[in-house]
Amino acid sequence: MRISIIRRVAGLSALLALCSLLASCEPPAVYGSVGYSSYGGGGYYGGGGFGTSIRIGGRIY
């Protein structure tokens, strides 16, 4: 009886220790801290297209 209780307590302790370790296992999402879209300001696509009034760049050589 006593051995059984000791086993259960030891098992529970081990489980708690494991859970504690797992709590520090954060998903390693490299983009998880990105908080905004570079295109979210509205000007890039708010209010329709821009036709050819905006001149963009591009490779030159």
Query: Is 17 one of the binding residues for other proteins (CB under 8 A)?
Result: no
Between the alpha carbon of residue 4 and those of residues 10, 12, 15, 18, 39, the distances in Å are 10, 12, 16, 21, 62
* C-alpha distance across the termini of the chain, in Å: 82
Nearer of residues 4 and 37 to other proteins, judged by Cβ: 37
Spatial distance between the Cα atoms of 47 and 52, rounded to a whole number of angstroms = 15
Query: Is 39 one of the binding residues for other proteins (CB under 8 A)?
Result: yes
Give min distance, CB of 2 to other proteins, in A.
19
Binding footprint of other proteins on the chain (CB under 8 A): 11, 14-15, 18-19, 21-22, 25-41, 43-45, 49-52, 54-61
